[in-house]
Structure 1
């Protein structure tokens, strides 16, 4: 086996890990794939004879590529308060396929990814690499031109925000599904009190949509306000198909044989819905992997 064949084999061994890093960094499946491909091109051109740990080297390359993407996004963003729901990873209700499980090895929920979208690029890199992949701060610091102590502070700041805004979902998927089903039934029946009962008092609804006039985002908080909004889409509940979204209970809303009109991810904690993240942008929906819907 020549050196290039060996590098190709080693890269393919690292690919699932690199995709997982890039997805958490970017919240975009397509951009994550691009970042991983960029890492391969750099590896193919690099002299790695003195690299002792190729996996760590590749992780650093992918992280730097993602950091550049995040910084570019930050410069382009017109409204810093805009809601951006990341690309959901959709799997069949009975369990994700092996490829999805590799990306979601620690079941990073969509609600957490939404919170990660609010971090600065440096905060996100420090938190993702250290807290999710155990990369030492001594290795993270040079990527963001900070000292290890400063990188530690960035990760700590990000950690506090994540803990405050992205509660851990109930581990029992059956319990999650029961709560979501109760919510959908109440929406279908126009049962306002039933909707409120399924929602945490401080529930947050985030919607990232699109119309012929452009992108449209919504942020609603509080059980009664979210319940009032939910009543309006009760007519769609018969078309809600149960799926797993980033490892948690969710639904894809689509009439039979038609493209989805929305994807809804629910975060259930303590037996109540604490967050609902909705993606209804037609352009982004068209780009999703929807093999989970295939019979």
Structure 2
């Protein structure tokens, strides 16, 4: 048995689990099968040299594929209700009915209201016990920001609080940017959580950013009098900002909020990562 055959055999051992992960992320058995097939293609191309936890590695791959599919679906503005109905229909294939029963159509309906990153963080952590340290690189967030994504999703799934108000979140981010540009230290502190974390990716660090800054005072000092060229934007549907050079995004600011406070800021400057983000500016909104 050659390496490819061995990998195929081991992949089949994990197929049911991978399909379960993909289904809970995508809400459609057909899309789940497509995600698992794409995961197999990627795994077979990459090989398993140096992989100690094959199951975890394959879960990460299928999660990344599913996230891309969710983001593409969101960009096409595909109606989530169509997916939920298809996932729960009694006229569908037997396997799809079984999957829908195991997840619960009600849960699928709520999951469809989440952003792709919120959905992935919640499903992987709460349904499959994946640590936030492993979820963070999949959604291109810090572990703290991934925890906040799952926390917001969890409250909405459990009905513990109202969904975040997008308009209010935009107001908070706009206030942060205005305070940053104007050097208003007190106004910055007013919108920052005391334990806020600022993190920069490797590309941003190479351009002079500090890899990590913790605490409201330190983060406020970092931004005070800066961000003058940052433009308000929606980043994957959530309030954020973008620094444009010649009309092209050079740095993306991603914010995680709890209530009226910013709890995490991610600076993304890696060009490949930026191409994966959905960026919408206020004048482009419907």
Higher relative contact order by CA 8 Å / sep ≥ 6: 1 or 2? Answer: 1
Q: Give the alignment's TM-score, normalised by structure 2.
A: 0.50
